[in-house]
Chains A and B, each alone.
Chain A
């Protein structure tokens, strides 16, 4: 569900740390450095990178095109090639048959079977296009707030990893403890009390 969908899911983050000024240029540089790489016609089975919100399949971050008012808006793209196990099994069986005929052997060694599987996976990965997953995010740099428009566990983990790698800033997911600790202006005694809390017994 993208940012402009009629129904969205959101996970909130706090961004800790500051970027080198000018901010827009630093962000642009980071996004360009970690732009999604096209893996169609390549043996890789997965690619993760940034892409443009308005053109997710032709990323272009030039001229602060990711800046909307006080927000940065861009997307995480995760491209994956999923090769059905039955297709792999069929191709391996055909390849093994061919090899047996060529070598006049009766059986293949374990190592040969492994080599065949690796070759089959490599060849299939070249032929199968990657399935893209696009997840939008909005970042308000000054307040250190970031909204990620997906609650998928895997997508959130990819975001956390790539964000740190790109900007060298810490991304803290806001859930009950972190929201209380970081965003609720609790006093020192309240933070101590927070650490010691245990579940309430609502029934007497």
Chain B
């Protein structure tokens, strides 16, 4: 395996491509997503998106906060060649909602808010196990999505089909 710090910097573009692909997935098949166990989930964009665009030597960062309508600016940035570097997302399953931010270059999850549990709060072991289940729901889902992305990315499928579909989505923005 490559040296960890070299690999971090050399391949951080994969995290940005993953989030850009994820936005495309959310807009084109959000209602058909499944979690790591195959159960249906709904994933929607939250209220924050960060994009980066490299213009020759200069780096332009665009941060958009707001409702769906204001994300139009984000779509325009993608149209100009930007990639997504951070996304705020909401994951829904049954009547529960998880909110979190994901950063492309590290795939770290921040601001993760899990649904409130109605279990016995005086039993610390039960509280810990329930919390861990709640967190793992999001973390396993992110791994599951990344696995789908990287499988596509390292196969001929990416260049043959996926990239073509993403370009069509970008052009329609």
User: Chain A residues in contact with chain B, CB under 8 A?
Assistant: 3-4, 6-12, 54, 68-69, 71, 73, 138, 147, 151, 172-186, 190-191, 193-195, 197, 199-200, 202-204
Contacts and interface: CB of A to CB of B under 8 A. Distances in A.
A161 to B, nearest CB: 13
B150 interface: yes
A61 B68 CA distance: 49
A147 B139 contact: yes
Give the interface SS of chain A, mostly helix, strand, loop or mixed.
mixed
A71 B132 contact: yes
3 interchain residue pairs of minimum CB distance = A177-B11, A176-B14, A190-B154
Interface stretch (B27-35, B37-45, B89-97, B104-112): B104-112
Contacts, number: 129
B112 A177 contact: no
Highest count of chain B CB atoms <10 Å: which of A8, A182, A194: A8
Contact of A10 (B139, B146, B147, B151): B139
Given A6-B113, A194-B154, A200-B17, A179 B128 contact: no
Given A10-B109, A177-B2, A202 B167 contact: yes
Contacts of B135: 8, 10, 147
Interface residues of B, number: 51
Interface in B105-124: 105-113, 124
A12 to B, nearest CB: 6
B141 interface: no
A71 B125 CA distance: 10
Given A11-B106, A179-B146, 15 more contacts: A3-B131, A7-B112, A10-B135, A12-B108, A69-B129, A71-B132, A73-B128, A182-B1, A190-B151, A190-B154, A193-B155, A194-B154, A197-B153, A199-B13, A202-B78
B54 to A, nearest CB: 9
A118 to B, nearest CB: 35
